[in-house]
Amino acid sequence: MDRRTKARLDLQLLCRIGADKVLSSPLGALTENMSREGMLLRWIEAVPLPGTGCKLTVDVDLPENEGIGRRVMRCRTTVVRIVREGDGPPSVGLHIHSVRFVQAKASAGGFDLGSMPPATDRVV
C-alpha cells in the first residue's frame, strides 16, 4: 500500500552523507527520487549502510544556476527503510525534517556519473 501524500520526482543527483553533520566524501549516494517530505537514495556499497531510525544529514548537489553559482540542498533526515533488490546496491528511504540551501564548497575533484549504476530504467 502506497502511503505517500506528496508527489515524487525522479531525480538523479549526487549527494554526500553525514551522521547528523556533513562528514563524508562526495561519494555518498545518488538520489533516485525526491518529494517534499522524503527521498530515496541509491546507496554506494563502499559507504557503510545506516540503520533504520538513524538521523543523517544529506547534502544534495544541485545543478549550477547562472548568477547564483553552485548550491547544495542540505536536508536533515531520518532513515525510514532500507530495501535490497537483487544484486544491485541497496536503496535507502529517508524522511526529510528540514531543508536549507547553502553555497557549495569547492571540491577536490569531480565524479563521473557514467560510472554510477542507473537509478531507474527511466531516462529523464
Dihedral of alpha carbons 49, 51, 3, 63, sign: negative
Amino acid identity of residue 65, one-letter, is N
What is the structure's pLDDT at 106?
Answer: 63
Q: Which residues contact 41 (CB under 8 A, 6 or more apart)?
A: 15, 17, 29, 30, 31, 32, 58, 91, 92, 94
**What is the pLDDT tens value at each position of the chain, 124 positions in all?**
566 567 888 988 888 887 555 444 545 788 999 999 999 999 887 778 889 999 999 999 888 878 878 889 999 999 999 998 888 889 999 999 999 999 887 654 444 444 444 545 544 4
Q: Where are the domains of the chain?
A: 9-106
* pTM of the full structure: 0.73
Residue with the three cell numbers 538513524 = 54
Cα 18 off chain centre by: 11
For residue 17 the three cell numbers come to 552523507
What is the structure's pLDDT at 73?
Answer: 93
∠ Cα 84 89 91 (to 5°): 55
What is the structure's pLDDT at 94?
Answer: 96
What is the structure's pLDDT at 64?
Answer: 84
CATH number of 9-106: 2.30.110.10
Note whether 22 and 74 are within 8 A (CB): yes
